[in-house]
Chain A
Amino acid sequence: MSLTKEDRGMTLIVKTITRITFGFILLYGIYIALHGNIAPGGGFVGGVIIALSFIHIMLAFGKKRALKRMRSHRLRLMISIAALIFLYIVISGWHGSYSHIVIAICEMVIVGAGLFAIFAALVLMPKSDMASGVKK
């Protein structure tokens, strides 16, 4: 199986740096989501930073490597479970001292997984149909 140019990713320098910084970006997203009640930030920002870290891997290593870590059905399962937990919290009116942390974690999971799924769908979408569409 021969890899095309987009599948191979960028050069060795970018790959090495990405391998180092990926964990830090992921950790920073989780930190921002969990410290949303005492510092600027919140669940949404943390989720977007997590999605950006996976997008970073996808841009540097090519599509296959990032999609191997985040499979599509696993993404859908995570989004659905987090949305159900969020719906349960809001409807049942749970107002304990940890409710905002649970809400922040649910929001982080939904936003991160969903935005990465959107980006993966937009990257994978047009390749096969592009040529026929233009030639018409």
Chain B
Amino acid sequence: MIELHLILFFMIAAAIIAVEVKDLVSSVVAVGAVGIGLCMAFLVLKAPDLAIMQLVVEILSLIILIRATIRRDLPFSISGRWVFNTLATVSFIVVFLTLAYFALRSLPAFGNAAMKVSRFYIEDIMKTGSENVVSAIIVNFRAYDTLGEIAILFTAIVGVLAIARRVGYTKEKIDEPN
């Protein structure tokens, strides 16, 4: 799996660039690179549904993030207790990685998934009349999951429309049409 390692190194490098670069638009474009790397990793890991979904979602969120950051730049400001903050962050990362190393040894090794639950889904796949197992799980076996997902999306839409409305923001703007 050397290609997966290469893709992961590419993603980590792009993520570090996205975190550390000063220009906000460059940062958003670097996040787009991380998303495309994730799309390629999904293709290598045999998940074409998620690859399509990740690509499309990445394009949409990139457009909206660029819309949010264009012409609104902020000079990078860092002040005070630089040494203390860096030491705290590095020690936290070391502790986290050490604990994760001991925790990850109890997982099944990479490439040998247990598949205890999805065995039953694969056995019953012919009853649904669908040949894509992921799509069958989403819309047939776990339709309540999809209902909750759509409810969350619906709530987000209502929330954005409530935040973005004009009337009620300032009192003198009310007479403006729409």
A and B touch in the complex (CB under 8 A): yes
Is B161 a contact of A121 with CB atoms below 8 Å? yes
> CA separation between A104 and B138, bound complex, in Å?
10
Q: B130-164 CB contact bits vs A (8 Å, 1 = yes)? A: 11100110111001101100100110110011001
Which residues of B lie under 8 Å from residue A110 when comparing CB positions?
A: 150, 153-154
Docked complex: A64-100 residues within 8 A CB-CB of B: 79, 83, 86-87, 89-90, 95, 97, 99-100
**With A87-B147, A107-B146 as given contacts, are A48 and B161 in contact (CB-CB < 8 Å)?**
no
Is B161 a contact of A103 with CB atoms below 8 Å? no
Interface size on A, residues (CB 8 A): 44
Is A125 a contact of B166 with CB atoms below 8 Å? yes
Which residues of B lie under 8 Å from residue A119 when comparing CB positions?
A: 63-64
Docked complex: B52-73 residues within 8 A CB-CB of A: 52-53, 56-57, 59-60, 63-64, 67-68
A/B interface sample: 16 pairs, CB < 8 A:
A37-B131, A37-B139, A38-B132, A42-B138, A45-B52, A48-B60, A51-B60, A79-B154, A97-B129, A103-B139, A110-B150, A111-B153, A118-B157, A121-B160, A122-B67, A129-B166
Q: B residues touching A (Cβ–Cβ < 8 Å)?
A: 48-49, 51-53, 56-57, 59-60, 63-64, 67-68, 128-132, 135-136, 138-140, 143-144, 146-147, 150, 153-154, 156-157, 160-161, 164-166, 169-170, 173, 176
